[in-house]
Amino acid sequence: MRRRCTWRIFQSIEYSCEQDQIKLHNFFNYLMDHFTPRSSGERDFISRMFTEEENYRESELEKFCDYDSVEVPDSYTGPHLSFPLLPDHAAALVEAFKQKQQLHAHYVLRLLHETRKHLKQLPNINHVSTCYSEEVTVCGDLHGQLDDLFLIFYKNGLPSPEKSYVFNGDFVDRGKNSIEILIILFAFLLVYPKEVHLNRGNHEDHMVNLRYGFTKEVMQKYKGHGKKILKMIQNVFCWLPLATLIDQKVLILHGGVSDMTDLDLLENIERHKFVSVLRGKKKKKNRLMELRDMNGDSINSSMTSLSSSSAMAPSMTDRMEFSQWVRKTVQEQLEKCRKLLEIESDSEDDDFTCATSVAMSKTESELSETWQTIQEEWKQIIDVLWSDPMPQEGCIVNTVRGGGCYFGPDVTEKLLQKYNLQFLIRSHECKPEGYEFCHSRKVLTIFSASNYYEIGSNRGAYVKLGPDLVPHFVQYQASKTAHTLSMRQRISRVEESAFRALREKLFAHTSHLISAFKAYDKDDTGLITLSNWATAVESVLHLGLPWRMLRPQLVRNTTNGMMEYKCWLDDLTIEKRSQEHIQSSMLEIIYRNRSNLETIFRIIDSDHSGLISFEEFQQTWKLFSSHMNLELTDDGIHDLARTIDFNKDGNIDFNEFLEAFRLIERSHSEDKTEPKPTPKSSKR
C-alpha cells in the first residue's frame, strides 16, 4: 500500500508537469491569436520567436551541418569517426562514453547529417521480420540514463546481424546523458540499418526538450557549436519513424492508439512536417501562407498577392468570416487596379468581380479541406505519441497529461482485429517492474529507465521476441546503490523522495491553499476538519491523490480531528526558507512557475546563448501584459529591464528574468490589495 501511494505521488506530479507544458503552448497560441503587432519590429520578433519556419530547406540545413568548417584540434583525445561507419566505430563510442569522454562537434554534426539521410529513406512504419535474426529486442524509454543502455548491451549484447533492436522513443530529456545515447543509437543505426530501428517518442520534440533538459544539456556540453547541433537534431527527430511492425503481427509505438487511429493514413503522412507535435495545430498569423508552405507549393499568384495584403486573415474555422474577408480583399485588389488603370466600373467589371469571387470561394473551400487534412494528420501523430491505456471501455481525452487520449480494451481489440494483429507494445509510462500487461495481455508497456523517480523506485526492463512472438522479459537495476539497500531501505528512501516532491508542490500553491481553507473556515478560527483539508488540497492541486490516506505523512499536529492550517503552511514555508534564504512570497512564485518561466526564457533565447536582449525582453512583456491584464508602458518595461540587469551588461540572464516576474507579480498583487480611498462626505 505504501509503495502504491508513493507511486501515485510521483506519477501525478510528473503528469501535471506535462499538462503544464501543453497549457504553456496553448498560452502561446492564444497570444498569437490575440496580439496584434504595432510595428515591423514587433512583427519580426513574433515571427522569429513563435512562427519561424520549422522545416528548414536543404540549403539552410547545409549551413547548420557544415561539419567541415568545424576543425578537430590535435589536442583532442576523444573518439574519432570515419564514414561509412564500421561496427568497431560504434563499439568504440560505447567504450569512450564509459570513460566519460566526449565526441567532438565535428563528428556529431557529420553523424547527424548521415543519420538524417538514412531516416529520410524510411517509411513511417518500419517492418521487421524475426526470420533474419534469432530475436528482436524491444527497449522502452531511456530518458538520458546512459547506464541503463550500457547494462542492456552488457546483458543482451551489442546490435549485430543476429541481434536486432527496436528502441521505442524517449531517448532524451530528464537524464544527464541524452546526447550520448543519441550518438550511440544513431551510430548503430548507420552500421546496422536492417537490425536497429528507432521510433519517435513524445520527447523527440524540440519544444519538449526546452523544458525537460536536453536543450540545456547540449548547450552546456557543446557551447559554441550547440546551436548547430540542436537545429540538426530538431530536423532528425521529425524524420524518425512513428511505429514498427514485427512479422505483421506486433505493433510497436511509443504512446498508444485511439478510436481514430488509422494505420493506412499513418503510413502516408509526411511526418517530417510535424517538427513539434505540440505546435502541430498552431495557426500562424497568415493562414493562406501557412497552408501553401505546408503543402510545399504555390497556390497561385493571385492568392500570393492577397496574402501580402495588410489585412490579417481571420481563422478558417469561421468559414463565414473567412469568406467575407476573401471577398472584401478581392474587391480591394480590383479597386486598386481600376485606380491605376483609370477604368470606371461597368457591367463587364461587375461580371469579372462576380467570377473572381466565385473562384476565390472555390479556393477557400480547397484550403479549408487542406487545413482539415493537416488537423487529422496531427491528431493521428499526437495520439500515437501521447496516449495511455485505461481499464474502462471507450476513448476519452487524456486530461491528465494534456495530450493524446485514454483508450480502453474495446479500442485495442477493434484495432487488432482490423489489422490482424496479435498485440501492441508501447512505452511512455514508468512501471514499477519495468513492464506491465493490460487489456487482457493485448497491450504491453515496456520501460527501460530504471530508478526513474528515485534510486530504488523502479526496475528497468526490455522484452525479447522470437519467431513465436512470445515475450521474454529481462529486468534490471542500473544503480549500484540500489543493490546495496534492503527492501525496507529502498521503500523508505523512495517514499521520502515522493513526499518531499509533494511538499514542494503544496508549498508552490500556498496562497491558493489559504483561500481554499478559508472557504471552510467561515468564522476565521484558523481551524478546519481533516476531511475539509483533504477536499481543499485536491481542489487546488488536482492531482487525484488519496489525501486522507496521505494525511498522516503530511499533517502531524491535529486536535480532535481539527488542524491549524496556518501553522501547517508556515511549517512548509520554514522548510523551504531553510534551504534557500529568500522571502517566502518570492519562493512560492518561483516554485510554482519556474519550469514554465525557464521554458519561456529558452524560447525567447533563440540562439541558446543563455541571454536575451533588452528588445526581446520588452517585446515578450508586451505579449504577457496583453494576457495578464497588466498595464505596462514601453518606458515602464524598459525601466524594469534596466533594474533587473544587475551586472549592467545590456542583456538579461535567467535569474534576472525570474526577478522581473517576481517584481511584476508583486506589483500586480499590491494593486489588487491596495484599499480604495474612502470618498469624502459632501456637506449638505
Q: Which three three-digit cell numbers place residue 145?
A: 540514463
**Predicted confidence band of residue 612 (pLDDT cuts 50, 70, 90):** confident
Q: Look at residue 477 in the predicted model and tell me its pLDDT.
A: 92
Residue 303 has pLDDT above 90, yes or no: no
What pLDDT, on a 0 to 100 scale, did the predictor assign at position 343? 40
Per-residue CA distances from 114 to 84, 189, 193, 232, 322 (Å): 9, 10, 12, 11, 44
With cut-offs at 50, 70 and 90, classify the pLDDT of residue 189: very high
67-76, 510-519, 529-538, 645-654: which range is least confident on average? 645-654
State percent of the chain over pLDDT 90. 45
* pLDDT at position 495: 85
Q: Which three cell numbers stand for residue 147?
A: 547506464
Cα-Cα-Cα-Cα torsion 323, 328, 332, 338, nearest 10 degrees, comes to 90
| Low-confidence winner among 287-291, 332-336, 358-362, 508-512 (lowest mean pLDDT) | 287-291
Determine the average pLDDT of the residues in 241-269: 97
Domain 584-667 class, CATH top level = mainly alpha
Question: What does the CA dihedral 275, 276, 281, 284 come to, rounded to 10 degrees?
Answer: -70
d(CA 103, CA 100): 10
Residue 37 main-chain phi, psi, to 5 deg:
-60, 140
d(CA 72, CA 69): 10
Beta pairing partners, 163: 135, 160
Active-site residue list: 203
Whether the predicted pLDDT of 602 surpasses 60:
yes
Q: Write the pLDDT tens digit of every residue in 555-567.
A: 888 888 899 998 8
- Residue 383 clears pLDDT 90, i.e. is over it: yes
Reply yes or no on whether the pLDDT at 677 is more than 60. no
Q: Is there a contact between 298 and 292 (Cβ–Cβ < 8 Å)?
A: yes
Q: How confident is the model at residue 596 (pLDDT cuts 50, 70, 90)?
A: low
Q: Which residue has the higher pLDDT, 484 or 265?
A: 265
> What would the grid cell of residue 520 be?
471552510
Domain 584-667 in the same topology as domain 56-281+378-476: no
Taking residues 110-122, report their average pLDDT. 96
Q: What is the pLDDT of residue 619?
A: 73
Q: Which residue has the higher pLDDT, 338 or 25?
A: 25
* Residue-wise pLDDT tens digits, 389-422: 999 999 999 888 878 999 999 999 999 999 999 9
Band (583; pLDDT cuts 50, 70, 90) = very low
For the chain, the structural domain boundaries read 1-51+488-565, 56-281+378-476, 584-667
pLDDT tens digit sequence for 127-141: 999 987 779 999 999
Given pLDDT bands bounded at 50, 70 and 90, which one contains residue 581?
Answer: very low
The dotted CATH code for 56-281+378-476 is 3.60.21.10
